[in-house]
Amino acid sequence: MPAVRVDHVTKKRGDNLALDGLSFEVEQGRIFGLIGPNGAGKTTCMQLLLGMLVPDSGATEVFGEPSLEMSIGCRQRIGYLPEDEYAMEDFDFPLGEILKFRSHLFENWDWDYCKELLASMHVDESKRLYDASKGERRNAFLLLALAHRPDLLVLDDPAIGLDVKARREILGATLETARERGTTVIFTSHILQDVERIVDDVLILDHGRSRLYGKLDELCASTNLATLEDLYCSVVGEPEKGSE
Amino acid sequence: MISTALTRGLRDARECRRLSAIRRKIRRESAAARERQRTRVQNGQLILPLANLPWVLLRYGLPLLAPGFAWLATRHDGPMAERYWLFAAASLLLIGGRTHFLIPNTFRLSVIENLYLPSKTGVVLARVFERLPLLLMLGLCWAAAYAIRLGPLWHELPIRCGLLLVIAALTAIVWHCGRLVLGFAGLGESVLAPWAVVALLAFALSQSWPSRLSSEVMTAFFVAVAFAFQLYKKAFRGPRTLARTLLFELRTAPRIAVAAGLCVPSAVITAVPTVVLALATAALVVGVVTGLDALCQLVPRAETLPRVVPQRPPAEHRTIALPTHSTGRRSFVRALWSRHRAKHLDWLGAIDRPSKLVTLPGKIMLAVVFHFWGVALAAVAVAMSANDDVQATLALLAAVTAPTFVYHGLSQQLQLLGVDYREQVRNNVRAGLVFVLLPLVAIGGIQAVANEPDRARFAAVALLAGVTLVRIGWRGLTSELTRNILVAPAVIVAAAAATIVLPIHARIGLFVAGMAALVGLVGIGLRLRRSEATLAGAFRT
């Protein structure tokens, strides 16, 4: 059974068609990269998967359950890092306090693992998230997404606005967790080198449509292109002259 | 009658409330720990609870307006009493409408609530139950207004009166469920309200027209447009949506009936048979349950993303023509007026499908309310002032809330674009004088002359002018960049409250107006005398 299944999903946001008959599957334990230009429908796709949006047509499933009717058990197997930090509540409170509350939500909460994460990710649990720097906050939110040992990790541009070192740390932590526990990861980013470094499968979205979908190495081999960036440009189009 | 979805929703709501209690406990403990570590008292600790006080008073005080007006109505006779009953009904509708703000975040769920709490339905129901005391208070206030209305009839018809009170109290809850259902169905906009307002206005006009444009008509007009302004939201997407909205909106209709009941003669209320009232009570009880049930059906399929306030779509098919040649510098006032027009007048849009016609009265009414709010209020204030009794509260509110249209706060960005700070200040003073003072005094003068001219009416006009001058000049007495969001509203609320409690005699009114005008003129003078360097320095302090 695939961890995630998206079947001919169409979704309009306002007057724009955000997703147009999108279909894909993510097998369990795989790291899946969802890439595309701004407004391609990546975030919409993730929100549909998590049952926060309702598709106009088509269906989405997570661990075999329809997204809109996911049981609490299924939902608690998901870790989510939104692109917009303000979508998270408790922004005004210290991380320790949030973790304490979350420990009441999950049955098999492991404080030892949580403390390990705190130490390895260098996050100060007594600091209010509002007072933390962008990098610290992003780290803290990733920690919140990982703390309950999810089976599916949905990361919406986790490295947005971070420097190289912080980005590498975040990606390192994600990769380590995924490989160690066999976690399925769905990952979006505009930094294609990052995506290339960690993903197994990739889907290039453009104007809500799937333009290229498959295993990254196979796609590169079949198109005779060396990198994901080349692949991306061949599908979405080269940047115009003078734009670089 | 109770479906599985509702049973499950109630169970989840209980669990959500338990978790919510845990979260509150954790926060309390953490706050107490932080408090122990703090070595000195910070300013915010003292000021913040005080800053929240007006909002707390507003939240719990506003529902009391309906019984308050009802009580005032019993202390007057004739047209004055009718007017107060009308106010009671209007406040029931308006404050009832504003109860929506009592659950401001109901339609938004955070990531934790979406993913990790038992269910979205549970979260929503838990929020409803959390606010239940407030809703009950609102219902009790409505019932209290009815209790006052039915005062002398209690001994004759105790059962009917009792049933009416229960109906009034239950209506608040039914209405709220209806609003939530509408919201989760994605149909936040009201269909009935704009047309109900038009009907109310037509009724009021037919009663008085063509004898004279009496103050009652003005009052009815004011209440009607205020009602529309509160309830009207935005355009609908098409006839199907319209039909769905109407269907869902029937749940909110009992509130209009309850409000109307306050305005009709007692004989009409008592003529309703007991059986009908008993059936209505039962229907409302069923309405609460089915409303909650409908919520449980809708919420799981609703989009509950944490979201920002949706933006109004831009006017459709509007071609923007860029100038083909330079026409020299455009005046600052013209630029601001152009911005105002684009923001407030151009959005009526093209009527390209019949369903758009339905939305037109509401849209026009919204524009009318925004532009003529101040003058309508001023006209009512002057018309209602008579026999040495000045309607100071209305005059105060008119002068303070009338829109200025081309006002623009002092801006560094504008200065960088070439509009000096002094020019900006001059523009803002001019905006106050031309768009507020002039229309208010003109409409007030016309009303004073058209009705029987007496000292109270002229005192009201003077008060309008005086308070407007203070409004324009107060920045001259303080700072051009005064951005204290608390002080000004607090002073206005205190002044309005004082004028309600203490009746203003015409002579006192004239004296207050004179003093206010003096203070205002001094302020305007000081404001206009400020140099460019002083104004620029205000940004650095």
DSSP string, A77-97: TEEEE-SSGGGSS-TTSBHHH
Chain A neighbors of B302, CB-CB under 8 A: 54
Of B381, B400, B402, the C-alpha closest to B504 is B381
Does the beta-carbon distance from B116 to A100 stay under 8 Å? no
Mutate to test the interface with B, among A46, A48, A76, A101 (most CBs of B within 10 A): A101
Q: Which of B296, B250, B268, B235 is nearest to B3 (CA)?
A: B296
Flag if A53 and B23 touch (Cβ within 8 Å): no
B26: closest CA of chain A, how far (Å): 7
The answer to whether the Cβ–Cβ distance between A54 and B301 falls below 8 Å is yes
Per-residue b or e along A2-21, where b marks 16 or more CB atoms closer than 10 Å to that residue's CB: bbbbbeebebeeeeebbbbe
CA distance B541 to B536: 10
Query: What residue ranges of chain B have pLDDT lower than 70?
Result: 1-2, 38-52, 54-55, 96-106, 186-246, 305-330, 346-362, 482-489, 500-501, 541
Predicted pLDDT at B214: 57
Which of A88, A96, A100 has the CB atom closest to B111's CB atom? A88
How much helix, strand and coil, in percent to the nearest 5, is found in chain B?
A: 75, 0, 25
Nearest chain A Cα distance for residue B250, angstroms = 26
The domain locations on chain A are 4-236
Using CB atoms, which residue from A50, A86, A97 is nearest to B114? A50
Which ipTM was obtained for this model? 0.86
Q: Which residues of A touch B22 (CB under 8 A)?
A: 101, 104
Q: Residue A237: its pLDDT value, please?
A: 76
- Residues of B with CB below 8 A from A89's CB? 110-113
A and B: number of Cβ contacts within 8 A = 64
Whether B169 contacts B195, CB under 8 Å: no
pLDDT on residue B313: 43
Residue of A nearest to B310 (CA): A14
pLDDT at B424: 92
Nearest CA in chain B to A44: B305
Q: Report, in angstroms and rounded to the nearest whole number, the Rg of chain B calculated over CA atoms.
A: 26
Handedness of CA B103, B107, B108, B114 (dihedral sign): positive
Contact residues of B toward A, CB < 8 A: 19, 22-23, 26-27, 30, 109-119, 300-306, 313
CB A199 within 8 A of CB A171: no
Question: How confident is the prediction along chain A (244 residues), in pLDDT tens digits per residue?
Answer: 889 999 999 998 877 888 999 999 999 999 999 999 988 899 999 999 998 888 999 999 999 999 988 999 999 999 999 887 777 767 778 888 888 888 998 887 889 988 888 888 888 888 888 888 888 888 888 888 888 989 999 999 888 877 888 788 778 878 888 888 889 999 898 888 888 888 889 999 998 899 889 888 888 888 888 788 888 888 887 655 544 4
The answer to whether B365 and B197 are in contact (CB under 8 A) is yes
Nearest CA in chain A to B311: A14
Interchain pair A76, B19: CB under 8 A: no
- Nearest by CB to B118, which of A72, A82, A89? A72
- Candidates B30, B110, B303; nearest CB to A89: B110
Cα separations (Å) of B19 from A3, A71, B13, B139? Answer: 29, 18, 10, 28
* B131: Cα separation from own chain's centroid: 20
pLDDT in tens, B87-111: 888 788 777 655 555 555 667 788 8
What share of residues in chain A are helix, strand, coil (percent, to 5)?
Answer: 40, 25, 35
Question: Taking CB atoms and an 8 Å cutoff, what residues of chain A touch B296?
Answer: none
| Interchain contact, B111 vs A54, CB within 8 Å | no
β-pair partners for A212: A204
Answering whether pTM is above 0.90, one says: no
Residue B336: phi and psi, rounded to 5, are -65, -40
User: Cβ contacts (< 8 Å) between A16 and chain B: which residues?
Assistant: none
Which residues on chain A place their C-beta less than 8 Å from a C-beta of chain B? 14, 47, 50-54, 68-69, 72, 75-76, 78, 80, 82, 84, 86-90, 93-94, 96-97, 100-102, 104-106
Q: Which site among A72, A128, A131 would you substitute to test the B interface, given the most B Cβ atoms closer than 10 Å to its Cβ?
A: A72
The per-residue pLDDT for B235 is 44
Instruction: Give the model's pLDDT for residue B397.
Output: 87
Among A12, A89, A153, pick the best mutation site for testing chain B contact (most B Cβ within 10 A). Answer: A89
What per-residue confidence (pLDDT) applies to B487?
67
The yes or no reply on domain A4-236 and CATH 3.60.21.70 is no
Distance CA B179, CA B195 (A): 18
> What residues are paired with B390 via a beta bridge?
B504
Dihedral angle over CA of B120, B232, B442, B508, nearest 10: -40
Whether residue B26 and residue A100 make contact (CB cut-off 8 A), yes or no, is yes
Rounded to the nearest angstrom, the minimum Cα separation between B301 and chain A is: 6
CB contact under 8 A, A76 and B115: yes
CA distance A51 to chain B (A): 8
CB spacing of B313 vs A53 below 8 angstroms: no
